[in-house]
């Protein structure tokens, strides 16, 4: 069971790492689209729009930030790869079926025990109710005789 928990921890870590990777990717796209200047890439296609100089980063800053974003993506991707490789191999279907059958057998036994316990509790409740009813009836009779005398 403890080993299962550590596998679940790895799955949780993997989920968190994937979410972080998606966040890095989203931030990267947002940065690249908002802080870049329009550049003519083909002589046949003119630039029709310009950004204010305060709206885009200078080429050297933009290049450094691109490299940092790429490094962040690579590091996170390697972390994800490591987490995936550290996950256990899947259990063969025969073993899974056997384990599920054992669990079902245990559940059947536990359900039978539960039903017996509930029936026992109902029996005890009935006995206690009968005894209390008898005691109350006896007390009522005693009070009635005292009132007659």
Rounded distance between C-alpha atoms, residue 3 and residue 89, angstroms: 13
Q: Which residue has the higher pLDDT, 8 or 61?
A: 61
Please say if the pLDDT value at position 12 is more than 70: yes
Estimate to the nearest angstrom the gap between the alpha carbon of 3 and the chain centroid: 18
Contact status, residue 71 vs residue 77, Cβ threshold 8 Å: no
Tell me 87's DSSP state. Answer: S
Please say if the pLDDT value at position 139 is more than 60: yes
Angle of CA points 39, 60, 23, to nearest 5°: 80
Q: Write out pLDDT tens, residues 39-95.
A: 778 888 888 777 777 888 888 999 999 999 999 999 999 999 999 998 888 889 999
Cβ contacts of 27 within 8 Å, gap of 6 or more: 69
């Amino acid at each position: 069971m403890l080993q299962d928990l550590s596998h679940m921890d790895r799955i949780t870590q993997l989920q968190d790492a994937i979410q972080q990777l998606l966040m890095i990717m989203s931030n990267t796209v947002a940065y690249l689209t908002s802080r870049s200047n329009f550049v003519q890439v083909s002589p046949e296609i003119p630039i029709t729009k310009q950004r204010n100089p305060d709206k885009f980063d200078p080429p050297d800053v933009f290049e450094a930030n691109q490299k940092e974003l790429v490094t962040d993506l690579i590091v996170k991707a390697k972390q994800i790869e490591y987490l995936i490789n550290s996950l256990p191999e899947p259990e063969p279907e025969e073993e899974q079926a056997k384990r599920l059958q054992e669990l079902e057998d245990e559940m059947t036994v536990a359900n039978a025990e539960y039903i017996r316990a509930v029936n026992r509790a109902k029996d005890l409740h009935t006995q206690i109710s009968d005894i209390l009813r008898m005691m109350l009836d006896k007390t009522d009779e005693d009070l009635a005789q005292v009132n007659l005398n």
